[in-house]
Amino acid sequence: MEARDHELVKELDATLRARRELGAEYEPALVESFLEKVEQRLDATVDRRVRRHLAERRMSEARGDARPERFGESFGERHGLAIITLVLAVPLSAISVVNAGIEGLFVTWGGIVGVNAVHAFRGGSPFGRREKSATGTGSDWEE
């Protein structure tokens, strides 16, 4: 288990202890607080991965490597849906836990995983595949 995971486990334990001490009426506030910490961790992880990808791309371009993008898609087009669903997962998780408990959380995450799995197996951008135009800019979209 990474140190970061250990920190989140400690935060979750503290949240659960506080819930036991304060009672169910404080549960929504406690869940919201914990999910904000998870969201911050997620945002930091996504930012770090995007910066790493951009740095690798710049180094590749500086070396003159000509590595074509898959289907002419950019990083954002390939991973945009995953990033959006993970960012939206935090408030959706909070809403589902408050309204339906742990069962609602499982249903919510099942839907999130399902949407991303379908997208991954379909292998395309949620916006359709891009075709290179006559100018080579890749700005023409195909439905």
Name the residue ranges covered by the structural domains of the chain: 1-67, 72-132
pLDDT at 26: 87
pLDDT score of 75: 67
**Average pLDDT for consecutive 10-residue bins of the chain (143 residues)?**
72 88 87 87 88 88 65 64 82 88 89 84 55 42 33
Closest CA to 137 of 79, 81, 74, 89: 74
* pLDDT at residue 77, rounded to an integer: 64
Q: Which residues of 80-100 are buried (b: 16+ CB within 10 A; e: fewer)?
A: bbeeebbeebbebbbbbbeee
Largest CA distance in the chain: 67
